[in-house]
Amino acid sequence: MKQSSCGQPSKIHDIDSFYGLLSLYERFIQNFRTIMAPMAEVIKGTSFKWIDKTQLAFKDIKPKLTQALVFALPYYDKVFKLNAMHLVLVLMEF
């Protein structure tokens, strides 16, 4: 998807669809809920109000969709950063 091909939503339904699509990638976008909070407020409303905060959220989230996540072999000479938010532990009873 080209970043420029996604135009500004003009109806609550458009924002809801956009938000729904992005929610599939939520786990890969850091601070997703914080960035998308202004759009969530528009979805909750009864009338369409596109304000500066909503425009900023729309502008900030689009490049995050186009940044590729690349899986590569780790650099063992560098420090590993662990995001505990997405860590799943399995406890086994022996």
**Tens of pLDDT along 31-81?**
889 999 998 888 888 788 888 999 999 999 888 877 756 556 778 888 877
Are 39 and 15 within 8 A, CB to CB?
Answer: yes
**Predicted pLDDT at 37:** 92
Which one, of 58, 69, 81, lies nearest residue 25 by Cα? 69
Tokens of 62: 């689009």
Q: What share of the chain is helix, strand, coil (3-state, %, to 5)?
A: 50, 0, 50
Going from N- to C-terminal start, the domains of the chain cover 3-66
Tokens of 69: 């996540």
pLDDT band at 86 (very low <50, low <70, confident <90, very high): low
pTM of the model as a whole: 0.61
Q: What is the mean pLDDT of residues 17-34?
A: 86
pLDDT band at 3 (very low <50, low <70, confident <90, very high): very low
Q: What residue type is assigned to position 49 of the chain? A: K
